Structure 1
Amino acid sequence: MMQRFSNPVLIKELKLRFRNFKSFSGLMFYLILLFIFVGGFLSIFTQFTGTGFFKPDESFMMFTVVSILQMALAMFITPGVTAGAISSEREKQTLNILLTTTQSSTQIIIGKLLSSIAFLILLLVAGLPLYSIVFLFGGVSPTQLISIFLFYLLTIVAIGSIGIMFSTITKKTVVAMIATYGAMIFLGAVSAFLFFVGVILDDLTTIAPYSSGSSSVSSSPITYFWACINPFALMITSLYPELSIQLSELMGIDFPNWIVYIIFYSLITIICLFISIKKLRANMKHSR
């Protein structure tokens, strides 16, 4: 029974990744960056004396900025960790050997993905002591911390699935990495740009010269969708629920944005993993 759920690819990848000096050096620099930011934030608000007051609203502000910073770092690191999962095996000419083993395509793809996700989860867990500082000053509830980390996990899994997919369908790691970073730019920057463009166009339509004097809120599902799939918008609206209510009222849609976020990124994960599993042995099937 245990052999059915065992994944030798996952075990091998975990051993190689966590025995690599680059992994722990990256973890060290990641924690140093967070420590510098949190320490600088505390020093500024206590006027560099160490005896100043640190109010709960200032603590919540620090938590918000650190959450957004950690999301940005996760989105920046994840493509570099996952985009070479399959393409690097192809470049080292070890993919054919891996495919001739008894491991199925699903086990190979899931093993590669989970080994990458495990390292990213280690980064998030290692930063928890810095997050715990905010509980000393108040302003943040454990529920908010748990919800933020659950959204981190969903986002990392979805981005990792995108990286695995591009790593499977492309032959070069550089191409897969560029494509994955392009997807990250679309989700993080282009979606925000399309949202603001949609808001401006909706305002122009609302205040058109031929419109009546009565003001009404127009429903804009597409514009609302761009805001819902943006990870940074989700962070802000999750930490400030009143902004989520204002966003729904502005778009004229009474549907929580976090539900759209969960559905969209869950679909991305499923579709990307499905494509990766189907395309992994595509060349072998054609050659038979």
Structure 2
Amino acid sequence: MRINPVMEKELKVRMRNWKAAGMIGGYVGVLMLFVMFVLIETIMNSYYSSYGGGEFVTIYAILAIIQFVLIAFIVPALTAGSIAGERERQTLDLLLCTKLSPISIILGKLFTSINQILLLIVAALPVFSIIFFFGGISLFQLLQLLIFYVILTITIGSIGIFCSTFIKRTTPATVLTYVFIMFLTLGTIFIAALYLLIYNRTGTMQNTFPLIYLNPIAGLGSLLTSQVGNAGMFYIPGVYNFTGKEIAPFWVINCGINLIMSAVFLLLASIKLNPIKKSKKIKINKVKKNKKDKIKSK
């Protein structure tokens, strides 16, 4: 199976640079310092009080939130300039002249843009595995968190690619991507809270609003609370069968919606990037112009 040529070229260029290894090493080092600090504090305090194990579950939750913030802030900056940057460097036409299809170009740009973030997520797994020594988190739960992060990274990256394809400049594309992410993370919470506040005043109680299922913060909160307990503090209903048993929790639904959004954004980006569609539009416009010129000449 041959790797995507765009991805292969970008990976060779980026991974030869020492900055990629330095960024991974620095990030993992900072996480390790944080974990070691908490471990030392816990060991010192254990001499004076009993150990309950809750400190390491808290470390797990904090590390998960740090990873989430990393994805939400860095991925848009990496992906929003992928296609717009090619336009600014005037190399997009050369890329479109190759035998690659538009969807191959889009997918290649997507995965080369997010590969460093995916490497950071995978490289941080040994830091998360320290929690195993003290209990509270299982391997299956860690895999759940990894799947959630990978899907979230692809979703945010797809939004960035979409904005980069439809907007010709890198800076406006980056700004629009961050605005879109702000809407998904904060805007949906605000709209859902406002709706529930108004709706519940009518006397009919409702505990959720469909727009909240788009929110990645709610998805992470649902996943963490289901793993570390206290689910009632951050409970959003999932999908239930006719017997009242939960089939899919909220975070699984959120991941499914994110995958659908990613597919839609990538498809729209590939349609916009398709040079054949542009050439057809140019021919149609020329034909219309020639008809108008003939009518005027008559």
TM-score (norm 2): 0.80
Which of 142, 164, 169 in structure 2 is aligned with 1:167? Answer: 164
Distance between the aligned counterparts of 2:125 and 2:235, measured in 1?
Answer: 31
> What's the offset of the Cα at 1:35?
2.7
* RMSD of aligned residue pairs (Cα, Å): 2.9
8 Å Cα contact 2:151/2:258 also seen in 1: yes
Corresponding residue number in structure 1 for 2:85: 88
Task: Give the SS at the match of 2:209.
Answer: helix
8 Å Cα contact 1:68/1:232 also seen in 2: no
Query: What is the 5 A alignment of 1:128-143?
Result: 128-143=125-140
Is 1:230–2:225 an aligned residue pair? Answer: no
Corresponding residue number in structure 1 for 2:104: 107
Corresponding residue number in structure 2 for 1:265: 258
Task: Give the SS at the match of 2:201.
Answer: helix
Distance between the aligned counterparts of 2:11 and 2:160, measured in 1?
Answer: 18
Corresponding residue number in structure 2 for 1:274: 267
> What's the offset of the Cα at 1:184?
1.3
Corresponding residue number in structure 1 for 2:281: 286
1:231-250 deviation line (CA, Å, top 9, x unaligned)? 2222222122333884339x
Task: Give the SS at the match of 2:168.
Answer: coil
Q: Which stretch of the first structure deviates more once superposed, 266-275 or 277-286? A: 277-286
Distance between the aligned counterparts of 1:165 and 1:177, measured in 2?
Answer: 11
> What's the offset of the Cα at 1:195?
3.0
Counterpart residue type for residue 247 of structure 1: I
Task: Give the SS at the match of 1:248.
Answer: coil
Distance between the aligned counterparts of 2:197 and 2:42, measured in 1?
Answer: 37
TM-score (norm 1): 0.83
Which of 59, 65, 76 in structure 2 is aligned with 1:79? Answer: 76
Task: Give the SS at the match of 1:197.
Answer: helix
Distance between the aligned counterparts of 2:112 and 2:36, measured in 1?
Answer: 32
Corresponding residue number in structure 1 for 2:236: 247
Change (3 A) 1:245 1:37: closer
Q: Which stretch of the first structure deviates more once superposed, 139-148 or 32-41? A: 32-41
Query: What is the 5 A alignment of 1:31-70?
Result: 31-47=28-44, 55-70=52-67
Which of 230, 249, 260 in structure 2 is aligned with 1:256? Answer: 249
> What's the offset of the Cα at 1:162?
0.6
> What's the offset of the Cα at 1:285?
4.4
Is 1:218–2:205 an aligned residue pair? Answer: yes
Uncovered stretches (5+) of structure 2, i.e. residues with no partner: 239-245, 284-298
Q: Which stretch of the first structure deviates more once superposed, 24-33 or 101-110? A: 24-33
Percent of counterpart pairs with the same letter?
A: 33
> What's the offset of the Cα at 1:133?
1.0
Counterpart residue type for residue 243 of structure 1: G
Counterpart residue type for residue 74 of structure 2: I
Change (3 A) 1:58 1:92: same
8 Å Cα contact 2:220/2:251 also seen in 1: no
Q: How many residues align?
A: 271
Corresponding residue number in structure 2 for 1:157: 154
Counterpart residue type for residue 281 of structure 2: H
> What's the offset of the Cα at 1:103?
1.1
8 Å Cα contact 1:54/1:137 also seen in 2: no
8 Å Cα contact 2:31/2:127 also seen in 1: yes
Distance between the aligned counterparts of 2:7 and 2:47, measured in 1?
Answer: 46
> What's the offset of the Cα at 1:127?
0.6
Query: What is the 5 A alignment of 1:183-222?
Result: 183-206=180-203, 218-219=205-206
Change (3 A) 1:236 1:201: same
Uncovered stretches (5+) of structure 1, i.e. residues with no partner: 207-216
Change (3 A) 1:13 1:95: same
Which of 136, 141, 145 in structure 2 is aligned with 1:148? Answer: 145
| Higher Rg | 2
Which of 7, 14, 20 in structure 1 is aligned with 2:11? Answer: 14
Change (3 A) 1:239 1:256: same
Change (3 A) 1:53 1:112: farther
Task: Give the SS at the match of 1:205.
Answer: coil
